[in-house]
A = this chain, B = another copy of it.
Amino acid sequence: MEIIEHVKAMRDWSETQRREKRRIVLVPTMGFLHEAHLRLVREGKRRGDRVVVSIFVNPTQFSPNEDFGVYPRDFERDRRLLEKENVDVLFHPSTDEIYPAGYQTYVEVDRLSRFLCGGHRPGHFRGVATVVAKLFNIVRPHVAIFGEKDYQQLQLIKRMVEDLNLDVDIVGHPIVREADGLAMSSRNAYLTPEGRRAALSLSRSLRRAAWLVERGVTQARVITETVRAEIEAESLATVEYVTLCDRVTLDGIDEIYDDALLALAVYIGKTRLIDNTILKP
């Protein structure tokens, strides 16, 4: 596995691969890898000839009060995990390499940034769209793979790619869960044993929502209030939002007629977790 730290070297590598007609797949990550990341990598191996994994904890997608400084990092462990997966390139640029002095250009996906997490993390999706646009221009992948746990991020990137005429296929990968239902996340590392138990209320509440819909419940309010109550029964949990919305535009809906996204964000103590599911009426 090649480790590349500089934009120019990364671009040259990709240029060579493209000239040799290799199909390049990019898996963008913030590192501290877990099984869900490795699934994206394996999906990448199936979809192309060369897999690039980027590890970059992107400062512009964290608000000043968020956990950028303490976001978990373990480069050596990440490197070993990716080596075992036969990844071709680990792209690991410094912050200065991505945002050099004088940097001032940002990409904004207007409407899709305002809903769900966007309402609670001002500037977050601007940072996401910007760094992903940059990674696409540097790595020039044919395909990029994103997890569906960050469902809003996935929709926003699809929209950005279409709007800015970027030539990349965006592939969403289903949420990967622990045996007990908890969606995998690097931030799960923050949880205490009690928090870990309380965090199960997220996936449990989503299953309950699906159960309600199977039984003919269609009113958004009934569904979101049930989910909220299920989570708030845990004393460690504080709901940030529970929203039922169109799965593409993310516009809120009052009633389910068609497949819809149920998405939520919850604090377990100080740890912010997200989860979601598609409800099919």
The residue of chain B having its C-beta at the shortest distance from the C-beta of A166 within the complex is: B137
**Residue A41 interfacial (CB < 8 Å):** no
Residue ID in chain B nearest A160 by CB atoms: B105
Residues of B within 8 A of A105 (CB): 107-110, 129, 159-160, 163-164
Contact residues, A34-56 vs B (CB, 8 A): none
Contact with B along A156-171 (1 / 0, CB 8 A): 0001100111110000
A103 in the interface (beta carbon within 8 A): yes
Interface residues of A toward B: which range? 20 to 34
| A71 interfacial contact with B, CB 8 Å | no
Q: Which of B11, B133, B164 contacts A167 (CB 8 A)?
A: B11
The chain A residues found within 8 Å of chain B, CB to CB, are: 7, 11, 102-112, 129, 133-134, 137-138, 159-160, 163-167, 249
| Shortest CB distance A18–B (Å) | 10
Cβ contact within 8 Å between A134 and B164: yes
Which residues of chain B are near A102, meaning CB under 8 Å? 159, 249
A139 to chain B: closest residue by CB? B165
Q: Which residues of B contact A11 (CB under 8 A)?
A: 165, 167
The answer for the CA separation of A271 and B14 in the assembled complex, in Å, is 48
Smallest Cβ-Cβ distance to A140: which chain B residue: B167
Q: How far is the CB of A168 from chain B (nearest CB, A)?
A: 10
Q: Which residues of B contact A160 (CB under 8 A)?
A: 105
Query: Nearest 8 CB-CB pairs, A to B?
Result: A105-B163, A137-B165, A104-B110, A104-B111, A138-B165, A105-B109, A105-B160, A106-B108
How far, in whole Å, are A143 and B134 apart by their CA atoms in the complex? 19
Contact A137 B164 (CB under 8 A): yes
Chain B nearest CB from A13 CB (Å) reads 14
- For A112, list chain B residues within 8 Å (CB): 104
